[in-house]
Amino acid sequence: MAVRIDGKAVAEKIKAQVAEEVAALKAQGICPGMAVVLVGDDPASKIYVNNKKKACAQTGIYSEEHVLPAETTQEELLALIAKLNADEKIHGILVQSPLPKHLDEKLVVEHIDPNKDVDAFHAYNVGKIMIGDFAFLPCTPAGVIELIRSTGVEISGKNCVVVGRSNIVGKPMAMLLLHNNGTVTICHSKTKNLAEICRTADILVVAVGKAKFITADMVKPGAVVIDVGMDRDENGKLCGDVDYDAVEPVASYITPVPGGVGPMTIAMLMKNAVSAAKIQNGLSVN
């Protein structure tokens, strides 16, 4: 029976460390600040934004929320980003996705100052992640690395399989595992013999957005299984991409949904906000 990885507990530990760093920066006259921009009234986005606001309050980070109507034009949104780029009390800018269909998400990200890009989605930051010389990491993959570390399992030398190749999770996840000396295979919808490849994984990270997609026969006995998915099952109940009940007896460690990767994403965002404040004040990021 696998050990359940408690994402909430690991996230709380990271937020406590962030709060200490924030207090130390404030003692030097620096108050880390973050702006969250929400366009439209997507209910899931509203929940995420509220959670981010709570985490800022918990860690002592100054936060601003800019809620714009769904019909906001591209020009209006870019004008707000330009204003936040120039605002010295704002060190991190996060534009909540998804944006309404008429807005170009890629263009919006490109207009955020790379030093304030706490999501690490800007092409400049993506390139730095590729070469291993980064200040910010995408929050979800960075959170996954922390969860794996919390188990005490070494990534170095392990066979790591990432199922999913999105720019937000799959691709950066593979790079982070590689930077930690894992031997990495990326699988996706066109992969042949998927179950066979998954069974080679000592560490299996799943981010495909399909409820209970990974079944017990796809998991190597004793593998660490990290479920990034957030889906609904046939009864409308929240679940992940991994069939938790079936896989738990096979794995050595497994993340639940909810309470696994989710809380880590916000904790790592707080960490990025502190890094951004340090960079913009000429301090080194440890």
> Given 113, 116, 117, 119, which residue is catalytic?
119
Q: For this structure, is 119 an active site residue?
A: yes
149 annotated among ligand-binding-site residues: no
Q: Is 280 a catalytic residue?
A: no
Distance of CA 79 to the CA centre of its chain: 27
Q: Which of 15, 52, 220, 271 is catalytic?
A: 52
Q: Which residues contact 163 (CB under 8 A, 6 or more apart)?
A: 170, 187, 188, 194, 198, 204, 205, 206, 207, 208, 213, 214, 241
C-alpha distances out from residue 199 to 57, 184, 215, 220, 224, Å:
42, 13, 11, 5, 11
The answer to the question of whether 164 is labelled as a binding residue is yes
- Buried/exposed code over 130-144 (b: 16+ C-beta within 10 A; e: otherwise): eeeebbbbbbbbbbb
Say whether 13 is catalytic. no
Q: Which residue has the tokens 């807005």?
A: 103
- Both tokens of 244, joined, read 């938790």
Distance CA 107, CA 55 (A): 28
Pairing of strands 253-254, 3-4: parallel
Residue 60 assigned to a binding site = no
**CB neighbourhood size of 42 (10 A):** 17
- Please identify which of the residues 96, 117, 220, 280 carries the catalytic annotation: 96
Annotated binding site for NADP(+): 164-166
Annotated binding site: 164-166
Catalytic residues: 52, 96, 119
